[in-house]
Amino acid sequence: MRTLGSIREFQDRPVAPDLIAHILENARFAGSGGNRQGWHVIVVESPETRAEITRISTLGFREYMAQTMAGAVPFAPADDGRWHGAIVDLDAARAVDGPSGLAASIDHAPALLVVVVDLRALAITDIDADHVSIIGGASIYPFVHNILLAARSEGLAGVLTTFACRAETEICTLLRLPMSHAVAAVIPLGYPVHQPTKLKRKAVNEIATVDHFDGPSFG
Ligand SMILES: Cc1cc2nc3c(=O)[nH]c(=O)nc-3n(C[C@H](O)[C@H](O)[C@H](O)COP(=O)(O)O)c2cc1C
């Protein structure tokens, strides 16, 4: 866990399909609400499909960067826990060409996985909350994280990306998903050029408290 950094640069070394199968073989032991395991993995082999995923992700990346540059936390809800729209013009942001390290990682990664989920399998206990839902993702992201952990065990690395989901209809059409399914993550994988050993994370006493949210620091 302490060395599972996000990797976007890969060696020019292929990843054997058997190794991907082995990674999925381990990752599938993730938990999910009611053990319904609504996950499905698309192993992208077609260069055309990969190019389209890269293009779609790049547009999402531009939207994200425009918000960051304007000082906003991209796609984050406001104090009321709801989304009130971006503070920048997203159509204009998508039209701004520029370098995208993310696009390169998706384009050049030796392996590309797309994790999709059957929405009907999700137990979304906050489905009627007043804020954006969080619980639905809890039945799919342990599986996604397991893929990255399992890959790390095999000397591989990658990154969980979600930019492609900014163009939901387009990505779902491209991958021929039924209406009942959605994309949870696009994961480029490969042998890393550099393996990080020191990740930047908050200390335990900054993220844990006793009894209440505003209770004394724990740890
Ligand atoms: C839910 C989620 C979505 C993410 N989406 C993206 C993404 O679309 N593109 C990307 O390059 N990284 C993405 N990341 C990776 C984060 O940027 C990364 O976890 C974080 O910056 C910490 O970086 P580090 O692991 O290298 O320390 C995502 C991570 C998570 C958990």
Q: How does residue 199 score in pLDDT terms, banded at 50, 70 and 90?
A: very high
The protein residue with its alpha carbon nearest to ligand 1, atom 31, reads 160
Output the pTM of the full model.
0.95
Atom index in ligand 1 nearest the CA of residue 162 equals: 8
Report yes or no: 114 and 41 within 8 Å, Cβ to Cβ.
yes
Q: Is 192 in the pocket of ligand 1 (CB under 6 A)?
A: no
Band (pLDDT 50/70/90 cuts) for residue 126 is very high
The predicted-structure confidence for 150-198, as pLDDT tens digits, reads as follows: 999 999 999 999 999 999 999 999 999 999 999 999 999 999 999 888 9
- Closest ligand 1 atom to the C-alpha of 105? 11
Order of strands across the sheet that contains 39-43: 39-43, 111-118, 181-190, 157-158
Query: Which structural domains are found in the chain, ordered by start?
Result: 17-77+84-207 (3.40.109.10)
3-state secondary structure of 26: helix
**Can you read off the two tokens belonging to residue 88?**
């920048």
Q: Which two tokens stand for residue 216?
A: 């004394």
Q: How do residues 10-33 score in pLDDT, each as one tens digit?
A: 999 999 999 999 999 999 999 999
Amino acid (1-letter code) at residue 182? A
CB of 46 within 6 A of ligand 1: the answer is no
